[in-house]
Structure 1
């Protein structure tokens, strides 16, 4: 610092001493500029050193001497600057060295990665090539049909399997049935969906054809082994199994519908391989135990899960299976589940066709009419209840403007189904109740302005009168409310008296009813609508005509009875051995002539 102050003093003194020579002017210089001009200053210093001592003082002041004054300061600054630069260089050198090492490692790693990647890509390409070669060489699996898979089922192996699960799961019938289904599932596991497109088959085939699908491929030995084992199970367990099977089929149906619509989130389709087995075991259960579906009928009718046009073919197929096992059960289910659909608002040509095909299939069985008429009542219930007859009658005899293509087919099956609906023991308590139920809607239908329907309903009404004398009282109560229908029935009685009189005897209930009708007609003739007045007059006319026939009929019958008795008595007197006469045969003859 002392040197710095000394130099500063000297620097101030020099301009003062030379002020006269410079006339008070001095050149201003900057230390920073001088540092930049250091090479020039150095050369100036060298020149000054070569200058003789006798040179001018002004040259020293403006040149060498001024540089000498700031030399120590500049040197310190340069030293400090040099140290800073050296420190930076050292730091930069360390960073560069570290970067080079790291870059070298990275480069080595990348080289290794590139090598590994190239090697992996090469291996992958080799693997793809190998896989391609393997795929090309791999032989295609042979297509297995339902018939081929069914032919491989051994009845002995099946029997052994059923014995095993019966012992292993004793008392657990539902598990046994599931294992039974698993057995057939494995047997048909090689059958692809293309070999059993059941939806397409059901949609494009007739009911007569789908009835035997796919059970027609099962051998008699396997079928008998299976059905004998099924027969050992309770109805409750079988109902549960049939419900599970039906739900599985409908799940597959929903899955295929979702797939056909291109839904991205469609229901996952059940394996068609398992559906073959389910159709097989379900058919065997329904044929061996038809009553199972009778127990399931309320669920089928009430749950929307089992209703709809898309589900109809499946339910038709199921009822067709029961009809194979028991014809009566098939008609019972058809009348209660399908016949109401025909008359419903949602009826369409496709559903009507399927429903008609099913009942036509049932009625086409050998001796179907005899079997159904004789079994018209099943476990206390009629195969064709009165409500079914009412629906059938209106479908068969519609107005001319409402006739459909299916009408002719209903006309063809109507006589047999009507006979089943009216079959039963005459005079029995059950038939008396049926007659009263039928009379209610038959009288109403007889009054409709459809000639064929009116005639048919009048005929059925007269049948009710032959079954139960109480039907006369029922008719008497509704006479005025159904005047047009009652006149139609009276007209039919009058015109066909010869054929009907035998069935209507004895005539006492009829005679009393006709007298009541005449009294009602007489009381109502003075009042009311002119159209009704005409009906009252027609009704009274037919009542009078029938009463006359009833009176004449009684007189003729009495005369004939006396004649027969007289002939019989004369024969007995003339006979030498009256004991040789067969009095039982005579009694039968008399009764046949005069039915009570």
Structure 2
């Protein structure tokens, strides 16, 4: 306590002054840096900024510039698939392979003949899968070709050993199963002739197409009808008498079906013609002349195949079938009136 007055606070004042000077010096230094930086910026013209600013500016400009398009890869030329004709596909069918397939499905589905017949159709479906519609325009062919030319379409392309193997197997199936199979085949063909049908409230409902139906269905149907023509006799009233099978565009298919049965048994074909087809199509004098002409072409086919004398002998020997006349009296009378109409009832065929 013996020092000068105020000596107690002298050290504190000195340290406070030093801190004040240090703070002031820091402020002056900061102010001098800002001034130099501002002057430097004032001296540097726009577009000559620092490298960092330049990089930012360049990045922004790069975003504005359109991106360079990547080089387009050259398109590979489409490889055209070779055209496969019905004859090409049929020539590849092997009788031994078919026989093995039939043995397998007969064992796998021993008590299910319906499934066996579907698997039978599947085999030919795979065989003709690569045949395009353009190679087998059957609707156009049936419309434009005469009846004699269509009788062997498309079965004529299938090798004889394959036909024999299939026919032998078909002969062992029951009439009921074959009848359902034949009806399924005909429905499959007819569904492709049917366009969209109008459903409730005008909605269009497209008839489902049968997979691979184009060639294969015609082949298996012809094979079945030629081996078991009797099946058609039971089905004829259901087919010809049903409106869904009637119509100018469908008549050539029905005529083709009856013609296939006649290849196996001429009397069966004639029976279906006289009991079902002819009375249905030609009963009305106002019927379509083209339809009538097609039906009469089919009769002419019966009477000239394979030759006139043999055909007549077969038909005369089969004049009565299962207690029914081959040509009923009513059909004969209708046929005579269509063939020799009275003058005022004659209609010019277009």
TM-score range, shorter chain: 0.7 to 0.9
Q: TM-score w.r.t. structure 2 length?
A: 0.74
CA displacement at 1:147 relative to structure 2: 0.3
CA displacement at 1:268 relative to structure 2: 5.6
Q: Which residue of 2 aligns with 1:133?
A: 75
Matched, 1:384 2:327: yes
Q: Deviations over 1:139-198 (max 9, x none)?
A: 210000000000000011010111111111101100000000000000000000100000
- Show structure 2 runs of 5+ residues with no match: 1-55, 198-202
Report the structure number with the largest CA radius of gyration.
Answer: 1
Q: Is the 8 A contact 2:240 2:277 kept in 1?
A: no
Q: Is the 8 A contact 2:185 2:217 kept in 1?
A: yes
- Show structure 1 runs of 5+ residues with no match: 1-107, 259-263, 407-596
Matched, 1:171 2:114: no
Matched, 1:354 2:297: no
Q: Distance in 1 between matches of 2:82 and 2:342?
A: 59
Q: Deviations over 1:440-474 (max 9, x none)?
A: xxxxxxxxxxxxxxxxxxxxxxxxxxxxxxxxxxx
CA displacement at 1:284 relative to structure 2: 0.4
1:500-519 alignment runs, 5 A limit: none
Out of 267, 270, 286, which is 2:225 matched to? Answer: 286
Give the secondary structure class of the aligned counterpart of 1:334.
helix
Matched, 1:312 2:251: yes
What do you get for the CA RMSD once the two structures are aligned?
2.6
1:488-503 alignment runs, 5 A limit: none
CA displacement at 1:347 relative to structure 2: 1.4
Q: Is the 8 A contact 2:86 2:131 kept in 1?
A: yes
Q: Deviations over 1:466-519 (max 9, x none)?
A: xxxxxxxxxxxxxxxxxxxxxxxxxxxxxxxxxxxxxxxxxxxxxxxxxxxxxx
Q: Is the 8 A contact 2:289 2:347 kept in 1?
A: no
Q: Distance in 2 between matches of 1:322 and 1:279?
A: 13
Relative contact order (C-alpha < 8 Å, sep 6+): which is higher? 2
Q: Is the 8 A contact 1:287 1:322 kept in 2?
A: yes
CA displacement at 1:386 relative to structure 2: 1.2
Q: How many residues align?
A: 280
Q: Which residue of 2 aligns with 1:336?
A: 275
**Structure-2 change in CA distance of 1:202 and 1:399 (3 Å):** same
Q: Deviations over 1:273-312 (max 9, x none)?
A: 4320000000000110111111112211332111122211
Q: Is the 8 A contact 2:109 2:115 kept in 1?
A: yes
1:352-501 alignment runs, 5 A limit: 352-365=292-305, 366=307, 367-404=310-347
Q: Which residue of 2 aligns with 1:249?
A: 189
**Structure-2 change in CA distance of 1:393 and 1:268 (3 Å):** closer
Q: Which residue of 2 aligns with 1:153?
A: 93
Q: Which residue of 1 aligns with 2:83?
A: 143
1:192-341 alignment runs, 5 A limit: 192-255=132-195, 265=204, 267=206, 270=209, 273-340=212-279, 341=281
CA displacement at 1:270 relative to structure 2: 2.8
**Runs of at least 4 residues of structure 1 off by over 6 A?**
none
Q: Distance in 2 between matches of 1:289 and 1:302?
A: 21
Q: Is the 8 A contact 1:193 1:272 kept in 2?
A: no
Q: Is the 8 A contact 1:239 1:293 kept in 2?
A: yes
Q: Deviations over 1:84-119 (max 9, x none)?
A: xxxxxxxxxxxxxxxxxxxxxxxx9xx99x98xx88
Give the secondary structure class of the aligned counterpart of 2:122.
helix
Out of 121, 138, 162, which is 1:181 matched to? Answer: 121
CA displacement at 1:201 relative to structure 2: 0.3
